[in-house]
Amino acid sequence: MANQSARAGALPMRGVAQPTRPHVLDLPDVHISRHPVVTHKLTALRDRNTPPPEFYRLVRELGTLLAYEATADLALIPVDIETPLEAMRGERLGGGVGIVPILRAGLGLADGFRQVLPDAQVWHLGLRRDEHTLEPIEYYNQLSRASNLQVCFSVDPMLATGGSAIDALHTLKRYGVPHLRYVGLIGAPYGVLKLRQAHPDVPIYLGAVDDHLDDRGYICPGLGDAGDRQFGTL
């Protein structure tokens, strides 16, 4: 895709074939939320009149909701405890949880995850998208201390072309991080397909799948630039 993108200049997706939404919804291990509260909050998030403070709050709240969905099958181990009334056998998570937000747009989602898993280990991975080629460029990496995890979630609001998500997961695998999952707010069919092809072993959790990418590589109808809208840098 790089050569074609370079020829297209500022319109790297012009003329690129894209899969349909129904096609990617049938892909294995792609989980799209059906929760009405997720749909409700995504609608508010998409609204161009939503100001940055409210936008960030919504991203964080959606991160919390998606965290519950993406952690529904985590392994538990038995543990003996004392309640105020008597002894009992309960269960706790069987291993640590890691969260890797892709900077900077993934920070709000990571905050939402930490509402559910305050003890989670958090590492930051800095990737930016070259606007001409749509290829990810790594500029920050804090993964060397990742260890003792049951599962690690790579979180980023928008799964557009899939480049950043694919590169992030390649990096995590290179560092030996086990049992990876990807969590995002909105995906384009093109990005979902590319991510599934590149990492067929990684489950994908999304709040919604939209219709297509425009010629610039933005998700439509989408919500614009998630990073700029979270941090007021429009």
pLDDT digits (tens, 9 = 90+) for 4-13: 333 345 788 9
Q: Residues of 83-99 as b/e, b for ≥16 C-beta within 10 angstroms? A: eeeeeeeeeeeebbbbb
Mean pLDDT over residues 200-229, rounded?
94
CB atoms within 10 A of CB 79: 11
Mean pLDDT over residues 55-62, rounded?
96
Is 228 an annotated catalytic residue?
yes
Least confident of 133-142, 158-167, 204-213: 133-142
CB atoms within 10 A of CB 148: 9
Q: What is the DSSP letter of 92?
A: E
Q: Is 124 left (phi over 0), alpha (psi -120 to 50) or beta?
A: beta
pLDDT of res. 5: 37
The residue from 21, 130, 216, 225 that is catalytic is 225
From the list 73, 98, 78, the residue with the least C-alpha distance to 89 is 78
Is 225 an annotated catalytic residue?
yes
User: What end-to-end distance do the CA atoms of the chain give, in Å?
Assistant: 29
Torsion sign, CA atoms 152, 158, 164, 170: positive
164-210 pLDDT, tens digit each: 899 889 888 887 887 899 999 999 999 999 999 999 999 999 999 99
The residue from 64, 129, 130, 214 that is catalytic is 129
Least confident of 86-90, 103-107, 118-122: 103-107
| Structure-token match 């991203």, residue found | 59
Domains of the chain: 2-231 (3.40.50.2020)
The residue from 57, 60, 104, 133 that is catalytic is 133
> Residue 192: CB partners within 8 Å, gap ≥ 6?
24, 27, 30, 159, 162, 204, 206, 209
